[in-house]
Amino acid sequence: MLHSLQPLQKNHRRSAFHCGNAQLDHYLKTQARQDQARGISQTTVLVRDLEVYGYYSLSNYSLKTDLFVSNPTLKLRGVQYPDIPLHLLGRLAVDIRYRGTGMGKYLLQSAMSRAYDSAQISASVGLITQPIDQNAQNFYSKWGFQPLGTGVLWFLSMKSIALLLNTSHP
């Protein structure tokens, strides 16, 4: 059976998943399905024979600007709404045995192209992510994500993704 990217399901085997970060392992094993059931975030898993080898989770998200909209400079720059719509790439992890093999890239590619597709129906200015450690920061930075402010959040504009997908995506 070939591998595939699927929405996380109950019968996907997650107990052996180990990515090297306890929080990310824990999320997949205990929280992801609940979040999915509640409509908080959607987890896509890379599976083969129902075994999970990697995953990412996406949600709609908004950054609040309403604390700042009274600022005249922001008004000048066209900020009229209290929220900026985004996609949150909440988590992305690969089983530790496949670190450095390209599987993370594969998941990111999928996440970006699906966020882009979704933004054609429900608008979003880009992907935002909260790298969990320095490794994750290096990973996102490599693909052009840029830190905002103190570097808790990293951002990649949907336009950057769109230009690529419009011209080169199969």
Partner 1 sequence: MNKSARLEIRLSEAHKERLNQARRLGGYPSLSAFFLAAAEEKVNKILQEKLPMLPLDEQSVFQLLEMIQNPAPANEALRELMKTDLTHIVEKLLHSDKDQSPRAPFTATPAKKPSKKRISLR
Q: Using CA atoms, how far apart are residues 28 and 80, in angstroms rounded to an integer?
A: 38
> Binding pattern to partner 1, positions 28-67, x when CB under 8 A?
------------------x-xxxx-x-------x-xxx-x
Q: Is 135 in the site for partner 1 (CB under 8 A)?
A: no
Q: Is 153 in the site for partner 1 (CB under 8 A)?
A: yes
Cα 114 vs. chain centroid, distance in angstroms? 10
Which is closer to partner 1, CB of 31 or CB of 113? 113
Nearest to 89 by CA among 121, 124, 120, 65: 124
Q: Is 76 in the site for partner 1 (CB under 8 A)?
A: no
Q: Using CA atoms, how far apart are residues 160 and 32, in angstroms rounded to an integer?
A: 29
Q: Using CA atoms, how far apart are residues 88 and 24, in angstroms rounded to an integer?
A: 16
Q: Pick one of 23, 30, 71, 135: the residue that binds partner 1 (CB under 8 A).
A: 71
Nearest to 25 by CA among 111, 95, 83: 95
Q: Pick one of 7, 18, 34, 74: the residue that binds partner 1 (CB under 8 A).
A: 74
Q: Using CA atoms, how far apart are residues 42 and 32, in angstroms rounded to an integer?
A: 8
- Contacts to partner 1 by CB under 8 A: 2-3, 10-11, 13, 16, 46, 48-51, 53, 61, 63-65, 67-68, 71, 73-74, 77, 79, 84, 97-98, 101-103, 105-106, 108-109, 112-113, 125-126, 142-144, 146, 148-150, 152-153, 155, 157, 159-161, 163-165, 168-170
